[in-house]
Structure 1
């Protein structure tokens, strides 16, 4: 597993985790914000009026209402990114990473406005009567002049559609069920394989019904799960009210330096906090990824810009509101930089040559440099000697897990026994990683991340240990609805590439992969997710920049339409 994860990390280093990627994402949002004169601010109030149904008409072309399209798109974005993703970002980059998540959302409001409007403008009616849209359709259908000839981006559309199929697994299927099963295991002790099997059956029953059933389910799930989650979140924030101001200072105080070491958190430099914050922000609200335009293409409307305005609300709700609340829960509760007893993931274990201690500032600085890729330390190769579960040669190496010094490590045989048996023997280590095939279970104290960290934070409020159940239920609803919506994105991409007959095969593979991901390594799932998100985002950013003039004309056309059809209504300046 460690070798697989290392290979995926190597691939990701050239795309999603590359230095240029967050600049490309934020740069596109900043460009359109200036080019279109801050539409996320100008049109915000108008967007609220549209989604309220004020301008809805039943006879318009499409399959869903504005609200149902928003709910479907939100159900695709509001998921593990809000519960597990924020915790993962803070774990990797510290509180400063949350600031960069918020910046991604502010600029992402404009990016999503553009991609959804273009998608709606160039959507297509399929043979079965349903509407299909998304970046692949505006890349193919929008034409422009190049050296006197009319051309399109059909080649880029095919690349995007293929990347969407991959990302439907990397964003919608694998990380969602993995987070659900991990949380239910930690909270209720439910076997991950059983969780995966039950939810895979339910997923299959829902997605067979297509977009109308998906919209009906998600439009009911989204408001309900939001209420449950907010009740639990504010129960923690208000319980730890004295930590709210220090938490805000931590978020905004170190945005240009990175987050300093505190507690078990060794610290993160600016580059690490910036990169992880932007990446987790993208995973959370998907602005620029090109996914939400596929859901919005089904909305009933005869003017594309109206649906683009509805999309402005998504990053605002998803990241600026929900992720900020989650971040305040994590920081005010104090659990984010504390070590907790947990079962170690092999892919997060790293053994370094020589013994470094946490109470030595010089040693901590060296580990900080190593983890932030500033100055790498030598990795340990040799053996771990264990007697009755305890390591006897700790003076030969430093045990790192989840970017923290590992304490109180106990090693058990992992043979499926009802009662774990303490391990005695040697464990082979190669270049800092466990290379022994002996099945082991390693328990110890270290930092934790993702949904288990959020569950711990929710226990630090008025509900006490009952808070973790709110996270478990909330994550179940959030993540399951995300998996439902992403199945639709994937089948639209399959329809574009191979026709409607290919969808049934895609859905079978989607459900099967959903099951198997429930009991796979969490870190590998997140790394794979980062790769697929980037592969989908890059062609979409190229496409919307290429069609920037088309977008400006679309705003002008909507202004003419609105003034003609709603002469007595107040509206923002469209020109």
Structure 2
């Protein structure tokens, strides 16, 4: 029975991630880029100045500083999607899938600029009277109360999309394959269950503290996490400098030929790339606007500019380096492993004995930071649907689901998350398209004031 349910979930995910979702995410991102007159790209330097805290004002409305808002959003995206998700993309779609991850991410820069600007522009108040942001609020505040069913639909899908299933599963798999099995300490259902319980306890201690504690934790963890992982992967890449250009050639070649995909389908590569990019940077899905909507600012465009840095950091930078490590070491050809185990194999080949343990440390930071950030999104979604006073219940559900994820099948989990992500994208992108004239007008006003040095 459970196998049939799993097959149904996987098949449904493959059906949903077809032409309509590709048109929505890629077409929507292209529209936002052109409609904004390339504003996100032209003001990249200004975005970095905002991130540095130059324009922070503690008296402005909101809960998080610009840096904390981006850190919280990155904690939800810079995670297993960048390590394990890339391995899954290469396994399912070959190296060419990475090219389409890049395309999706570059267009996603504009999508995040619009959706996160809207998250501040149309902030609403929850049932406790506290200011909140996110797709559910810019749908109801921007489009009107008649659109509330769409906002509720987003919230319901969001509670599934930000569940800890994937992170818990891959963190457990990494601990099992890298630590427990090689040292004869376990590697069965019981050990996975114990690992899941331990992870659940640690996460539970942090997330009960709420968004301010999450912001403080992620603000410290994310930079360290990224630095350790980037340094290690760069070492692997530049240990074989002669293989860097061939690796890029493989990516570009397979992106258009479909040679590396079973069945040789170019469409399969594109779909795989876009699916895994969405999992990596979530542009257009709607979770990041919930974090950026909590930023301390009265300038929506300013927060949109900070938010657009997300896809560049997590997909263009981190995912690319992970892909190069896997391709350069030929682990994707030699190994039949999937997910995090494939990435661990690449690290072990490049740095014998120590590589897999370095990855284990990095992956622990990646997964735990994501597990710290996701409950915040879930509580906001539940709070919108049932009332803010009930939002905290999601934290307890989240902790229990960690244990479920630790002992579940990877492919079924990916299918379930992909379904919810696709169904989150429709209300997020469609509402952003309808509200895009508001962002364009606000952007023109903001950049005109910037040119006049009024800040």
TM-score range, shorter chain: over 0.9
Match of 1:177 in 2: 168
Q: Is the 8 A contact 2:95 2:250 kept in 1?
A: yes
User: 2:124 touches 2:138 (CA, 8 Å); kept in 1?
Assistant: no
Structure-2-length-normalised TM-score: 0.94
Secondary structure of 1:13's partner? Answer: helix
SS in 1 for 2:256: coil
**Structure with max Cα Rg:** 1
How does 1:45-444 map onto structure 2 within 5 Å?
Answer: 45-126=45-126, 130-143=130-143, 153-169=147-163, 173-189=164-180, 191-260=191-260, 268-339=264-335
Q: 1:44 to 1:230 in 2, by over 3 A?
A: same
Partner of 1:428: none
Give 1:3's aligned residue.
4
Deviation at 1:132, TM superposition (A): 1.2
Question: Residues 24-35 of structure 1: matches in 2 within 5 Å?
Answer: 24-35=24-35
Separation in structure 2 between the aligned mates of residue 316 and residue 478 of structure 1, nearest angstrom = 17
Query: How far 1:205 sits from its partner (Å)?
Result: 1.2
Q: What's 2:389 paired with? A: 501
How far residue 24 of structure 1 moved from its aligned partner, in angstroms, is 1.8
Contact 1:119/1:297 (<8 A) preserved: yes
Q: Helix, strand or coil for the counterpart of 1:259? A: coil
2: CA distance between counterparts of 1:103 and 1:83?
19
Partner of residue 485, structure 1: 373
Map 1:437-452 to 2 at 5 A: 447-452=336-341
Report the Cα offset of residue 188 of structure 1. Answer: 0.6
Which protein has greater RCO, CA pairs closer than 8 Å, 6+ apart?
2
Taking a change above 3 Å as real, the CA distance of residues 90 and 216 of structure 1, as seen in their structure-2 partners, is same
Which residue in the other structure is 1:454 paired with? 343
Deviation, 1:556, is: 2.2
Number of aligned positions between the proteins = 445
Counterpart of 1:377 in structure 2 is none
Within 2, Cα distance between the matches of 1:66 and 1:260? 41
The alpha carbon displacement at 1:127 in A equals: 6.5
Pick the structure with more helix per residue: 2
Distance in 2, Cα, partners of 1:40 & 1:457: 35
- Does the CA contact (< 8 Å) of 1:12 and 1:531 recur in 2? yes
Cα deviations by residue, 1:127-161 (Å, 9 ceiling, x for unpaired): 66753110010100014xxxxxx775222111111
Structure 2 match to 1:522 = 410
> What CA deviation, in whole Å up to 9, does each residue of 1:57-101 have, x standing for no partner?
121111111001010000000011100000100111111100000
Residue 10 (structure 1) shift: 2.7
Structure 1 residues 152 and 111, CA, compared in 2 at 3 Å: closer, same or farther? farther
1-structure distance, mates of 2:86, 2:385: 34
The residue that corresponds to 1:467 in the other structure is: 355
Q: Which has the higher strand share?
A: 1
**Alignment counterpart, residue 535 of structure 1, candidates 404, 423, 435:** 423
Indicate the SS of the match to 1:63.
coil
Tell me what 1:417 maps to: none
Residue aligning to 1:378? none
Give the Cα separation in 1 of the matches to 2:338 and 2:29. 29
Deviation readout 1:455-477 (Å, 9 max, x if unpaired): 0101122x322111122111111
| Whole-angstrom CA distance in 1 between matches of 2:260 and 2:405 | 35
Task: Indicate if the aligned counterparts of 1:139 and 1:152 stay in contact, CA closer than 8 A.
Answer: no
Aligned equivalents of 2:326, 2:283: Cα separation in 1: 24
Bigger mean CA deviation after superposition, 287-296 or 190-199: 190-199
Q: How far apart are residue 325 of structure 1 and its match?
A: 0.4
Asked if the contact 2:113–2:307 (Cα under 8 Å) also holds between the matched residues in 1, the reply is yes
Gaps of 5+ in 2: 181-185
> Is contact 2:126-2:388 (8 Å) kept?
no
Please tell me whether residue 36 in structure 1 is matched to residue 36 in structure 2.
Answer: yes
